Structure 1
Amino acid sequence: MRILKLLFDFYINSSIHVGLSCYALVRMTQHMFHISYEETIANFAFFGTVVGYNFVKYDALARAKKAQMRTELKLIALFSLCSLALVGYYFFLLERITQITAIAFLSITLLYTLPFFPNRKNARNWVGVKIYIVALCWAGVTIGLPLLNAEVAITSDFFLKCIQRFILIFVLVLVFEIIDMSNDDPYLQTVPQKIGAKMTKKLGITLMILFYFLEFMKSNFDVKQLIVNFVLVVLVSLSLLFVNKKRSKYYTSFWVESIPILWWLMVVFI
């Protein structure tokens, strides 16, 4: 059991699980826009997410050298380096416009992590900004990059799906913010810090209802997608209703981050 727990913790802590969530959302976009499966962009998103999240999580620790690296952190660093090499490989297989856009999102990630201006905090610590940066990057990577790489025409459906994806990620991040309420610096002014956990839950559920009804505005919606989206809305809403500051880290880092994967699996197997 101890070995299984160590493997599971490595799976979570090395950002493999969140990488699979990003991969699933890219595959979901390909399904929605009838793009034949193209592994380059999906794999680029997976390995890019692994590298990006590990950089955000462990960069400060590595630079400050506050603690000697444990075996797990060394393995995560090695895995991240391998993932970085694969990101580079898949990057050069992308279309030029996709590469340029990907660099733009990389720049936002670096701004989110590193303080570029003297005596200023990074974007992660800007008041009330964090959740919007995360939602924007995820929407851009999982909607914008796959469509650009497949050279799909930009229509009203594209903008509609971008709004839906932004809402989905925004609400999922709210779950994280509720759990982190007591640990986050009050200066950050996260949504739960400003309006409270109860109102944050109401806001999230309201946004998910909006997410669902936006589907009816598509140029041609199908019943299967409406059913799948309804299940998604229920899952996200339940994750909000049952979240509290005492939940373990696995509540968000595994169960909540599994929701995009389950959403994609539903369209695959239903």
Structure 2
Amino acid sequence: MIFLSKLLRLYINSSIHVAFAVLAFTCITYLDFDLDIQYHVLAFVFFSTIVAYTFVKYIPLLVSPNYKISNSLKLIYTLAAFSVIPVIFFLLYFDINAFLFIIGLTTLTLLYVLPFSPSAKNLRDVSGLKIFIIAIVWSGTTAILPLISSEIILNSFSTEELLYICSRFLIVVALIIPFEIRDLRLDQIYLKTLPQVLGVFRSKILALSFLLLSMFLFSCLMLDSYIYILMHFIIIVLVLKANRQNSFYYTSLWVEGVPILWFLTKYFFG
């Protein structure tokens, strides 16, 4: 039992779980627009998520002089290092438009961790910006990238596609709020996360408002309404139950696993 617990924690900490979540949202976009699945996109999204999350979460530890690297962290670094190989390989399959868009997302991810200059902050440390940067990268990766990889020009998106992207952004913000509530004890006050600025109750109200707006946008799109209502309801319950004492698994396994459940439900019952 202890072994299984350690294995599950390694699965989460190595960013494999979040990579499956990002992959699931990407697959949902392909299914929603009835597009031919681009498998190089899916492979790139999965492995690049592992690399990006490892970079964001663990690279800062390498510059900490007093931090001792554990065996599990060595495995995480090794997995990320090997994941760079398929990222570079599948990157070669993208056309110039998709490639430039990926460069933009990569730059945003790098600036999230690295400061603009030696005397400046990184984007993560800019007050109130953290949650929206993450939502932009997720929405760009899971909604915009599949569309432009299917030869849809970025500046010629239809109203339907724009509403879809906006809805994905709202959903991601709502999913991040339980993480920010959990991290109230850890986040520095200068970050001004939504729970720090608005409080837990008002942050939940904001998340619920975003979810209701997302449901409205989906009603305009007429996409498998019963599945989307069910998934929005599940997220609403998870947001309402979020608190500072939530366990590691509540957010990192269950909240982060919503896109995976969403995809499986749509794939088998949609």
TM-score of the superposition, structure 1-length normalised? 0.96
Q: Which amino acid aligns with 2:66?
A: K
Say if 2:184 is the partner of 1:181. yes
User: After the TM superposition, which parts of structure 1 deviate over 6 Å for at least 4 consecutive aligned residues?
Assistant: none
Q: Which residue of 2 aligns with 1:158?
A: 161
Structure 2 residues without counterparts, runs of 5 or longer? none
Say if 2:270 is the partner of 1:267. no
1:116 CA drift (Å): 2.4
Q: Which residue of 1 aligns with 2:226?
A: 227
Q: Which residue of 1 aligns with 2:144?
A: 144
Q: Which amino acid aligns with 2:207?
A: G
Of the three residues 195, 204, 210, the one matched with 2:213 is: 210
1:140 CA drift (Å): 0.6
C-alpha distance in 2, partners of 1:98/1:202?
A: 36
Q: Which residue of 1 aligns with 2:74?
A: 74
- Judge which range, 50-59 or 178-187, deviates more: 178-187
Q: Secondary structure at the match of 1:64?
A: coil
Q: Secondary structure at the match of 2:185?
A: coil
Say if 2:197 is the partner of 1:194. yes
1:23 CA drift (Å): 0.2
Q: Secondary structure at the match of 1:151?
A: coil
Question: Please, what is the CA RMSD of the aligned residues?
Answer: 1.1
C-alpha distance in 2, partners of 1:66/1:27?
A: 42
C-alpha distance in 2, partners of 1:115/1:66?
A: 22
Q: Secondary structure at the match of 2:54?
A: helix
Q: Which amino acid aligns with 1:101?
A: F
| 1:100-139 superposed matches below 5 A | 100-139=100-139
Q: Which residue of 1 aligns with 2:8?
A: 8
Q: Secondary structure at the match of 2:67?
A: coil
Residues 239-260 of structure 1 show CA distances to partners (whole Å, capped at 9, x for unaligned) of 1111110111111110000001
1:203 CA drift (Å): 1.3
1:216 CA drift (Å): 2.3
1:64 CA drift (Å): 2.2
Q: Secondary structure at the match of 1:79?
A: helix
Structure 1 residues without counterparts, runs of 5 or longer? none
C-alpha distance in 1, partners of 2:81/2:94?
A: 20
Q: Which residue of 2 aligns with 1:239?
A: 238
Q: Which amino acid aligns with 1:171?
A: A
1:69 CA drift (Å): 1.3
Q: Which residue of 1 aligns with 2:175?
A: 172
Q: Which residue of 2 aligns with 1:95?
A: 95
Q: Which amino acid aligns with 2:107?
A: S
Q: Identity percentage over the alignment?
A: 34
TM-score of the superposition, structure 2-length normalised? 0.96
